[in-house]
Structure 1
Amino acid sequence: MSEAVPYSYRADPAVPAFPDDKALVVFDGVCVLCSGFAKFILKRDKTLAIRLATAQSPLGQALYRHYGLDANEFESNLVLADGRAYAKLDTVAVVAERLGRPWRALAILRLLPRRLGDWVYDRVARNRYALFGRTEHCMLPPPEWRDRFIGS
């Protein structure tokens, strides 16, 4: 993923404007594992510190392209927090920090050497459909979660 200045997407005319006062998790909406991660977040984010968008949405597509990620394969979640972009294993750590206890402890994943953590993440990501399955359509959130999704 290309490193960029904080909030660089704001200056990119290809990226639709969106509220960025909270962290944003962009995930593969047809991946069962990725949708499970989104549901995990929604159930545990008691302070409503995280919003979500599917990678298939216009916003998700634009953000993937902006950060140099493949806008067709979605082999990494993308997390934007405080204007900075995170991919691969860093996404889990950034989300964990925002979920509070006991999940904050997962931020220890950042202590893994980046190459090792990304290698493991890449292996799971490349095989996620075979291991966990995929759906025909993106997850339709129940009414109580719909306001947490943006960019649809």
Structure 2
Amino acid sequence: MAEGSDRSGDATTDSDRSPADIVDDIDRPVLLFDGVCNLCNSTIRAIVRLDDEGEILFAPLQSDVATELLDRAGMDADYFDSVVLVEDETVYTKSTAVLRVCRKLDGPVPLLYPLVYLPERLRNAVYDFIADYRYQVFGKKDECPIPPERIRQRFLERSLA
């Protein structure tokens, strides 16, 4: 479906909706990311370019929607150690989340998915190394930037829509 489509689960401009109501309406995968991390924000922009169908929705880990999703998954709302993919009520973190997202993208990126068969301990060691140094190498913002207009509808956080 095109980016401008009116698909159930799209972010809303209705600021009266609670995070719980927004989460109840989600019908596709949601990627939670560190909204202040420059690497994470660059990665989200790349995902948007490589996700022609607009399959993946986004929310910063610092948002109320992310807090609601994490709470429903039984995770700490202050969990900022990894990206989190919520897909069909299942939660994936770290390298598994990244590889499951890769599988949904266009172009050659899905070819990375078979890496999921490597031992998770090895994959997550690489993920953790990058995560530990992401601020030092790529920097960070003081707050989550507002996404460009053309991709705002894919963000579930009301304040960004």
Class of the TM-score when normalised by the shorter of the 2 chains: 0.7 to 0.9
Distance in 1, matches of 2:137 and 2:69, equals 26
Distance in 2, matches of 1:30 and 1:135, equals 5
Q: 1:126 maps to what in 2?
A: 132
Q: TM-score, normalised by structure 1?
A: 0.82
Q: 1:16 maps to what in 2?
A: 20
Q: Residue deviations 1:98-131, cap 9 Å, x none? A: 1133111111220211101111111211221112
Tell whether the 8 Å contact from 2:50 to 2:107 is kept in structure 1 after alignment.
no
Q: TM-score, normalised by structure 2?
A: 0.78
Which letter does structure 2 place at the counterpart of 1:16? Answer: A
Q: Residue deviations 1:111-152, cap 9 Å, x none? A: 211101111111211221112110012121111111100034
Q: 1:35 maps to what in 2?
A: 41
Residue 86 of structure 1 and its aligned partner are, at CA, apart by: 0.5
Q: Residue deviations 1:36-69, cap 9 Å, x none? A: 1111111111011110000010111233344455
* Percent identity between the two aligned chains: 34
Tell whether the 8 Å contact from 2:28 to 2:56 is kept in structure 1 after alignment.
yes
Residue 70 of structure 1 and its aligned partner are, at CA, apart by: 4.9
| Equivalenced residues, count | 138
Structure 2's unaligned 5+ residue stretches are 1-18
For the aligned residue pairs, the C-alpha RMSD in angstroms reads: 1.7
